[in-house]
Amino acid sequence: MSNEMQLKLIETYSMVCDFFDKNPQWNSIRLSNNYKPTQFSDQEAVTIYLFVGLYEKRFKIKEIHNFAKHYLHDWFPKLTSYEKFNNRLTTLNSIFYNISLDIISNNIPKNAQFQTQLIDSMPIITCKQRNRTAKVARECTDKGYCSTKKMFYFGLKFHLLAFRVKGTIPFPNKIYFSAASENDLSIVKELNWLDNLQDTDVFADKIYIDKDYFEPREQWLQLDLFTPVKVVKGTPECLKQRDFAYNNLFSTAVSKVRQPIESYFNWFIEKTGIQNASKVRSTNGLWLHCFGKLAIAYLTFII
């Protein structure tokens, strides 16, 4: 391994240790006779996962373990077997989520536009429609429809509220995972994401249109929602034709502002392959797939 990669490995390990030092409760995640391993630590396991995923673009646990066994043995001589390594990581899945939250809350770029935010969701697919029923993580996944891909699928949704950043992809403000069938607007209402925004323009898809919900917030929060125009069912054809040019221009303008959040999802998928979770075989494995890849992607903000 080159000197540059050795320095990056040291940097990753130091950062992981800092996260553990700030969160001593992580040492109590595994309440068993071996909850404080002395030979191969949790910090080492998390470091290997993040380092190999970030710099080697290997995301399957088997691939990560094989790489560590062959190329990182001098650094981690007490590396456990693949089975133990996999069990360790799936048990520690929540740590990766907390690392992600720490990164996005403490590294907001200076040019983030707090008064302009984008909101949307993307699917995480454990099983496509051609399979009759999903057999993995059924307590947290279900069947949903992705209008962008025009397909039914089993899995989760990743919800994102992000600050607009001129000239690049948005920076996350709020993140959340839900079952695939959950309505995007219902999640926003449940989490009260918009109730803490003041004097903010929010750009969203048509699914977020709800006058009864947004009109009061326009008054007491000065919150403006911009979505592509949705033609009301039953509108006379003459009115549709009259307003066509305006509606088309307005929808195009909104879509242009919203486009970076689509770029964000494409960047996220390209960096980690998070959207394809078809190889996951357990609930903890699914959360590791989601949270681990989230942490890998967000590490690029600080490393």
The strand pairing partners of 172, in sequence order, are 162
Say if CB 59 and CB 53 are below 8 A apart. Answer: yes
**124/131 Cα distance (integer angstroms):** 16
CB within 8 A of 147, min separation 6: which ones? none
CA 253 and chain centroid, separation? 26
The strand pairing partners of 125, in sequence order, are 155, 276
Q: Give the pLDDT of residue 106.
A: 94
Q: Extract the residue ranges of the chain whose pLDDT is less than 50.
A: none
Q: Give the pLDDT of residue 232.
A: 59
- 107: tokens are 């590294």
Whole-prediction pTM: 0.89
Q: Give the pLDDT of residue 138.
A: 84
**92/259 Cα distance (integer angstroms):** 35
Instruction: Please measure the distance between the N-terminal and C-terminal CA atoms of the chain and give it in whole angstroms.
Output: 19
Maximum distance among all Cα pairs of the chain, rounded to whole angstroms: 76
**64/88 Cα distance (integer angstroms):** 13
Question: How many C-alpha atoms does 132 have within 13 Å on its Cβ side?
Answer: 0
Say if CB 285 and CB 83 are below 8 A apart. Answer: no
For the segment 168-205, what is each residue's pLDDT rounded down to a tens digit? 999 999 999 999 999 999 999 999 999 989 999 999 99
CA dihedral 100, 151, 144, 227 (to 10 degrees): 70
Residue 246 in 3-state DSSP? Answer: helix
Q: Which helix (H) or strand (E) holds 50?
A: helix 42-56
Q: Give the pLDDT of residue 25.
A: 84
Q: Give the pLDDT of residue 131.
A: 56
Taking Cα atoms as reference points, which of 121, 123, 125 lies closest to residue 154?
125
CB within 8 A of 259, min separation 6: which ones? none
Domains of the chain, residue spans: 3-91, 112-279
Place of tokens 């993580």: 137
- State the CATH architecture for 112-279: 2-Layer Sandwich (3.30)
